[in-house]
Amino acid sequence: MSTEQPFKISVSEDKIDLLRRKLDLCVFPDELEDSGTSYGAPLADIRRLVDYWKTGFDWRAQEAALNAELPQFTRDIEVAGFETLNIHYVHQTSQAVGAIPLLFVHGWPGSFLEVRKILPLLTAVSPEHPSFHVVAMSLPGFGFSQAPSKKGFRIAQYAEVGHKLMLALGYNEYVTQGGDWGSLITRMMALQYGGKHVKAWHTNMPLGIPPPVTRPVSYLKWLVTPYTAAEKVGAQRFSLFDKQGRGYFIEQGTQPQTLGYSLADSPVGLLGWIYEKLLSWTDKYPWTDDEVLSWISIYLFSRAGPTASVRIYYETYQSGDWQHLQAQRPSIPMGISVFPAEIEIRPLSWYKTSGNLIFSNTSHTKGGHFAAWETPDVLVKDLHKMFGKGGPAFSVVPGKTGYESPQAQ
């Protein structure tokens, strides 16, 4: 594997000038009266954001802040059956002697940016909680990572990149955390590399299936156990999403190239496509215009362009990986955090079916799909509970308990 190279975000002035010209030429659609968010991203919101994008948003200030806060690097990772990809990642080590190596994996429409708020919380050293060495990669085709050029780059390949990156950084044994695609990718990592390398995994978007008849005790218990009030609300939310919010998944999972022309060519089209999810997938999170436009800019200015990021849907949908992985049960310790405004919420019994569940917090009263951004302190507190002293995954990585001194452990 190649050596690590320091990286700083530096978008060319030509790209910024092109963005300004395209914003000036934007043609907005009409909108039905009193439609709110029921038809998609509200016109008033998009007009406001575009106006601010043109007259007030300072990408250079955002760029400088990200470069100052996030230690970024690139490294070539060879992917079996595919080309060698240059991968962008954040890598922040802790000062704790026994810090636990953790790989954070984002999804869509997120990016490495999602680690920004949890990074200082995870690497903080304290006798009260464990500390982590944190790695947050830009998935291939996202952010500033190179995109694959061949068809068939599936969940196994994303998992391979994450695993090989951790090995290249000297982390032979580690834990993972992820939501959205990160949940599926870390599940695959638990299946492929669990035990020897991946020691435990945590997700804030757990997948679940009903207990099978081949596990009769669990199956019968599920049949006779009433759903809790929270589980009923979660089922209603998922039913509504299935009816009104899944269109993006079908389009990206069937014709990503067709959609890609609009995402690549129109900054406002890209904004509308992603902003709708930022609104509907969060728990009334008060997005600032700077936050929204920074998230969009990572896609707009990404190395491969925004079209590359949606192909993961096609490869997963067409291959059946989603259904296949849901049916697989990794044996290594698993932890989950369920937030009330998550897209998909299932009964706890389903989560127990999907993995070796040793830690669960399903009692959160606030938060949604982007937990690391919406409720970073709450998510990190769950990780502290899972991996800290007295937690079910304490010392799961040999010699790495997360605390200051091995002698004091």
Nearest CA among 295, 272, 245, 281 for reference residue 111: 295
In Å, how far from its chain's centre is CA 243?
Answer: 23
Name the catalytic one among 163, 369, 384, 403.
369
Q: Are 293 and 287 in contact (CB under 8 A)?
A: no
Nearest CA among 325, 317, 155 for reference residue 250: 317
Q: Are 375 and 342 in contact (CB under 8 A)?
A: no
- Kind and range of the H or E run holding 136: strand 132-137
Rounded Cα distance between 330 and 350, Å, is: 14
89 is annotated as an active-site residue: no
Rounded Cα distance between 163 and 182, Å, is: 13
24 is annotated as an active-site residue: no
39 is annotated as an active-site residue: no
How many CA within 13 A on the CB side of residue 141?
21
Q: Are 297 and 167 in contact (CB under 8 A)?
A: no
Nearest CA among 186, 190, 231 for reference residue 344: 231
Q: Are 91 and 135 in contact (CB under 8 A)?
A: yes
**Sign of the dihedral defined by the CA atoms of residues 214, 201, 397, 75, in that order:** positive
Name the catalytic one among 45, 133, 158, 180.
180
What's the token pair of residue 396? Answer: 């799961």
How would DSSP label each residue in 330-377?
Answer: --SEEEEE--TB-S----HHHHHHHSEEEEEE----S-BS-HHHHSHH
The Cβ of residue 161 has, within 10 Å, a number of other Cβ atoms equal to: 25
Q: Hey, which residues are catalytic here?
A: 180, 313, 369
